[in-house]
Amino acid sequence: MKITSIDVYKVKPRWIFIKVGTDEGIYGWGELISGTKTETVVAGVKEMGETIIGKNPMQIEDIWQTLYRSFFRGGPINMTILSGIEMALWDIKGKYFNIPVYEFLGGRSRDRIMVYSWIGGDRPGQTVADEALDRKNKGFKAIKMNATSEMHYVDSFKKVDEVLKRVDSIRSAVGYDLEIGIDFHGRVHKPMAKVLAKELEKYRPMFIEEPVLPENDDALIEIASHTSIPIATGERLYTRWGFKDVFRSGLVDIIQPDVAMTGGILETKKIAAMAEAFDIAVAPHAPYGPIALAATLQVDSCTPNVFIQEQSLGIHYNMGFDLLDFVKNKEIFSYKDGFVDIPQKPGLGIEIDEDLVKSVAEEGLHWTNPKWRNYDGTIAEW
């Protein structure tokens, strides 16, 4: 079998899909993260994609190594392109052998996959307690909220109190029927992160996420010394090499690799295996589109130290589309009592509505993350 084509689609609300074709008529879907550089990613997939035309799509490791080992390597642009191509190759392989991808990676190792739902929380005044109640009534066992909006290096304790009040309102509404993940989103700097980590402890959250930006992970040693809350990070890291310092530091309890960023399905499986050797849990990051989520479920199915899965069903990001809109076999993501079933179909298990993808792609994609400022006009992290 030979790779014959790679088509790229820019899809609202903020997704990039690719379709890899072969001379045997089998095709595979992949998804890339547009981030804030959509056109750069699209140009990159065309440039890197050209180099694999004519190659055997079954040789996933070799293609991965060939694409990865350029003189300049790594970084989010290169790695999301490589991830998207890699998951499309697995989709092809699975369809060729008529088995789900996880069957190549050890087979299923769980009965079902627990998922959590995002409930907002980063703007004052949002009624996170109502959102949490809604998720509880829908059967979820866990939610995740953003802790805070803009926060300066050192900021007012009024903002700290607002964070505590929001978390308190959730605990009052749902007790311990829902686990609560609290995402600092890399918005908080060390001086306030250690304050928040300590003061949130009484609400016993499931984890705090990205207490500081990954480039400031050195600060975790001090933050971790102030709290027993499990610390999660990793959605902006890629490859085994990007994660190894996180493991060695011993400061992180949960890693959150993103299959559309780490280097793909097999790379995420390898990173999870490294985590296992350090007794670290895995909660894969997956707030993007349907193909990335389908690829992530393949990893979850065969990876025992995954304990929960992010997903963004029903979240429209104010741009009109739910990820289910692009999926013909919607039952692949059907969740009941807070769990998703193990996918059964060949490859990634997902059937994409290509006609809809094409028509939406014609409208273009112009997503970029919001630009926030602190009270004094300095740039704030989003």
Site residues, Mg ion (CB under 5 A): 183
**Catalytic sites, residue numbers:** 185, 285
List, in order, residues 6 or more apart from 271 with CB less than 8 Å away: 239, 240, 243, 255, 257, 262
The span from the CA of 154 to the CA of 200, in Å, is 17
Taking the least distance from each CB to Mg ion, the nearer of 26 and 147 is: 147
Taking the least distance from each CB to Mg ion, the nearer of 31 and 258 is: 258
The span from the CA of 264 to the CA of 243, in Å, is 14
The span from the CA of 373 to the CA of 124, in Å, is 15
The span from the CA of 294 to the CA of 102, in Å, is 11
Taking the least distance from each CB to Mg ion, the nearer of 3 and 182 is: 182
Minimum gap (Å) between residue 143 Cβ and Mg ion:
14
How many CB atoms sit inside 10 A of residue 257's CB?
Answer: 30
User: Which residue(s) pair with 352 in the sheet?
Assistant: 327
Residue with smallest beta-carbon separation from Mg ion: 183
Minimum gap (Å) between residue 287 Cβ and Mg ion:
8
How far is residue 94 CA from its own chain's centroid?
A: 22
Minimum gap (Å) between residue 370 Cβ and Mg ion:
15
- Phi–psi pair at 284, nearest 5 degrees: -55, 135
Quickly list DSSP for 12-49: TTTEEEEEEEETTS-EEEEEEE-TT-HHHHHHHHHHHH
Which SS3 state, helix, strand or coil, does residue 79 take? helix
Minimum gap (Å) between residue 62 Cβ and Mg ion:
33
How many CB atoms sit inside 10 A of residue 72's CB?
Answer: 6
Which SS3 state, helix, strand or coil, does residue 374 take? coil
Assigned token pair, 158: 């009024």
Minimum gap (Å) between residue 232 Cβ and Mg ion:
8
Taking the least distance from each CB to Mg ion, the nearer of 3 and 280 is: 280
Taking the least distance from each CB to Mg ion, the nearer of 132 and 286 is: 286
Taking the least distance from each CB to Mg ion, the nearer of 22 and 146 is: 146
How far is residue 74 CA from its own chain's centroid?
A: 18
The span from the CA of 8 to the CA of 259, in Å, is 18
Taking the least distance from each CB to Mg ion, the nearer of 101 and 188 is: 188
Minimum gap (Å) between residue 95 Cβ and Mg ion:
32
Asked whether 60 and 38 are in contact (CB, 8 A), the reply is no
Minimum gap (Å) between residue 210 Cβ and Mg ion:
5
What is the enclosing helix (H) or strand (E) of 227? none
